[in-house]
Amino acid sequence: MDEFQGSRGWSRRDVLKNAGLCAGAAATLGLSPVAWSAHSLPSTTATTRAGKVRGFVNQGVHTFRGIRYGADTGPRRFMPPLAPEPWKKVLDAAEYGAASPQTGKEEEPASEDCLFLNVWRSVEKSQTPLPVMVWFHGGSFISDSGANTDYDGAAFARAGVILVTVNYRLGRLGFFAHPALTAEQSGAPVANYGLMDAMASLEWVKRNIQAFGGDPANVTIFGQSSGAALVNLLMASPSAQGLFQRAIAQSAPGFRQWPTLQATLKGGPSAEDQGKAFAVSVGVSGDDAAALRALPAEKVIGNPWTDKEARATPIIDGKIVVEGEAMAFAAGHQAKVPYLTGANSYEGSVLRYFNDPPADIINEFGKNKDRVIALYQWRDNQTAVATALYGDNVYVMPARYLARKAADAGQPSYLYHFAFVQRELQGKAYGAAHGAEICIMFETCEQSERPTYVPRMTDKRMGTAMRTYWVNFARTGDPNGNNLVAWPAYKAASDEIMWFSNSGTLVMPYYQRERLDALEAASPYTPFAATTHEKKKKKKG
């Protein structure tokens, strides 16, 4: 902690303004406003086990970008991550590290050498080590990175935690199985390389966060969408136990049935079958692991936005992922740590990124589809019904289920529903879109990526409230305190959630209870999880 040095700096906007440029103009001229302003600010250093890193100080926050937590994965494609090689010179940590290669992100530096993380910490001195919050970004396991400006950790750092964001391998580079790889790595973990990266980042935090003033024994993992799925998978993984002490899952697809390595739950292709089919499609036949590694990265990842076969997911490999999250929570196999989860009021907005036909979403319920459609009579067409149904079935109902199962296991469990809509979007959307809470709670909506955004005091108040709840939870495992509306722990009997809305924060009992109960009973996923574990219990009995 004593190594931190420097003083209050200037904002990125101030630096650009003094240069006579706005962020948009800088981009037009081919400049990099983030990196350029960062190098112009006072510096600060910290010493990790691999070597010293030099960050910068801005608006009361120490920022370190692009710290390597794993070795270059390029030569080790489809292999577990390794710790980074030590460096002798001071590492320049002013710029973000490369993101994992992905379709549609050509404007950002991308490389298979992508195992980097970023750290934010307040300049304020602390007599005790600070709680640590580690953020795993979303993006359907195929896009985004910890360098997204939405995830700038300065506001969280000023609230009293160490904030860490992480890059991990995406698409088929991060989640891929093939018999050749399984045979080659006999006995070792395979397939879930992106999840292995997440675990490696937490190992790095455990070993190094004290150098930044953090407490390695008080780590909260949190994330949104597929990042929240990673959180739940880490909760369910025996291999991840002890790497964190609390968990927050925001809009997690809680009941996805991941493919298994060599067989599937419904008789479809296994992960290895899918891997073989892909290999043949790009000219790799037989068990040629070297040929798979020699493929160009862009050919490996394909275009998952238009090709369903290229949408990589976690895989039940029997070692790191031994069962799906719903099954783990149903059986009480999850980590027994304080758990906070929830979803947004317009989660179905995520469908705009894909071209899944509304009929397919409804037909997935099979013989129960008519019962399910009746739950959404207030929607006036099939697309609107499918959108609302998708949001509830994939995000809202599973969050409630997992919160209930965590509470049943005796864990402190908290459930929320985010329905706050920014003024510019009111009347234009059904509610709070998938991911809408992120820039509110990180206080980053005013970044250059949203040139039309007008900051509102209501946005700031909502963001402050959410961030304070989250930081309190990270500190003690209980979100309450600081003159906030009291948030009761979740119990199935009272079914109380925290409601974040344009009216403020309030406790809502029995939120959509009848609809969510009916949806849970009709879902093609939850009955499978419950029935499977009941069968196991009966056999043991």
CATH code for the domain of 469:
3.40.50.1820
Say whether pLDDT at 17 is over 50: no
| Residue 188 and residue 109 share a domain | yes
pLDDT digits (tens, 9 = 90+) for 81-133: 999 999 999 999 999 999 999 997 665 789 999 999 999 999 999 999 999 99
What is the DSSP code (8-state) at residue 433? B
Say whether pLDDT at 396 is over 90: yes
Point out the least confidently predicted range of 6-15, 75-84, 431-440. 6-15
Question: Which residue segment(s) compose the domain that 534 sits in?
Answer: 342-541
Give percent above pLDDT 90 in the chain.
Answer: 72
| Residue 73 and residue 52 share a domain | yes
Cα Rg of the chain, angstroms: 23
pLDDT digits (tens, 9 = 90+) for 31-61: 333 444 577 789 999 999 999 999 999 999 9
Give the per-residue pLDDT at 498: 98
Average pLDDT of the chain, as a whole number: 87
* Nearest Cα to Cα of residue 91 among 43, 31, 132, 57: 43
* Nearest Cα to Cα of residue 173 among 148, 146, 196: 196
pLDDT digits (tens, 9 = 90+) for 178-217: 999 999 988 889 999 999 999 999 999 999 999 999 999 9
Comparison of pLDDT for 446 and 82, the residue scoring more: 82
Say whether pLDDT at 11 is over 50: no
Give the per-residue pLDDT at 15: 26
3-state secondary structure of 29: coil
165: which strand partners?
A: 118, 135
Q: Answer whether residue 33 is part of any domain.
A: no
Say whether pLDDT at 9 is over 70: no
Give the per-residue pLDDT at 531: 40
Last-in-domain residue among 305, 337, 369: 337
Last-in-domain residue among 337, 372, 396: 337
Give the per-residue pLDDT at 19: 27
Give the per-residue pLDDT at 202: 98
Give me the catalytic one of 122, 225, 345, 523.
225
Contact (CB, 8 A) for 92 and 54: yes
Comparison of pLDDT for 476 and 12, the residue scoring more: 476
Q: Answer whether residue 5 is part of any domain.
A: no
Largest CA-CA distance found in the chain, in angstroms, rounded: 75
- By CB atoms closer than 10 A (0-12, 13-18, 19+), residue 396 is buried
| Residue 419 and residue 280 share a domain | no
3-state secondary structure of 245: coil
Q: Answer whether residue 1 is part of any domain.
A: no
| Residue 129 and residue 97 share a domain | yes
| Residue 418 and residue 289 share a domain | no
What is the DSSP code (8-state) at residue 221? E
Last-in-domain residue among 337, 358, 383: 337
pTM of the model as a whole: 0.90
| Residue 355 and residue 267 share a domain | no
| Residue 472 and residue 364 share a domain | yes
| Residue 430: pLDDT band with limits 50, 70, 90 | confident
Helices (H), 178-324: 179-184, 193-208, 226-236, 271-281, 289-294, 297-301
CA distance linking residue 97 with residue 64, whole number of Å: 11
Give the per-residue pLDDT at 12: 29
Give the per-residue pLDDT at 311: 92
| Residue 445 and residue 305 share a domain | no
| Residue 539: pLDDT band with limits 50, 70, 90 | very low
pLDDT digits (tens, 9 = 90+) for 505-533: 999 999 899 999 999 988 877 645 444 33
Secondary element (H or E) of residue 249 = strand 246-250
Q: Which residues, 6 or more positions from 488, have their beta carbon under 8 angstroms from its beta carbon?
A: 494, 496, 507
DSSP 467-524: HHHHHHHHHHS----TTPPP-PPP-TTT-EEEEEETTEEEEEETTTHHHHHHHHHH-S
Residue 510 backbone class (left: φ over 0; alpha: ψ -120 to 50; beta: rest): left
Give the per-residue pLDDT at 451: 59
Say whether pLDDT at 276 is over 50: yes
Contact (CB, 8 A) for 395 and 347: yes
Q: Answer whether residue 506 is part of any domain.
A: yes
3-state secondary structure of 9: coil
Q: Answer whether residue 28 is part of any domain.
A: no
Q: How many domains does the chain have?
A: 2
**Looking at residues 383-401, what average pLDDT do you find?**
94
Helices (H), 97-185: 154-158, 171-174, 179-184
Which residue, chain included where needed, has tokens 């949190």? 222
Q: Answer whether residue 24 is part of any domain.
A: no
CA distance linking residue 428 with residue 472, whole number of Å: 34
Q: Please indicate whether residue 225 is annotated as part of the active site.
A: yes
| Residue 357 and residue 286 share a domain | no
Comparison of pLDDT for 406 and 40, the residue scoring more: 406
DSSP 167-179: ----HHHHB---H
Q: Answer whether residue 35 is part of any domain.
A: no
Distances (CA, A) of 444 to 155, 339, 454: 9, 25, 12
| Residue 210 and residue 294 share a domain | yes
Kindly report the backbone phi and psi dihedral angles of residue 354, in degrees, each rounded to the nearest multiple of 5, phi listed first. -125, 170
Contact (CB, 8 A) for 242 and 203: no
CA distance linking residue 423 with residue 440, whole number of Å: 13
177: tokens are 């199985």
Q: Answer whether residue 2 is part of any domain.
A: no
| Residue 516 and residue 398 share a domain | yes
* Nearest Cα to Cα of residue 176 among 66, 279, 330: 279
| Residue 219 and residue 282 share a domain | yes
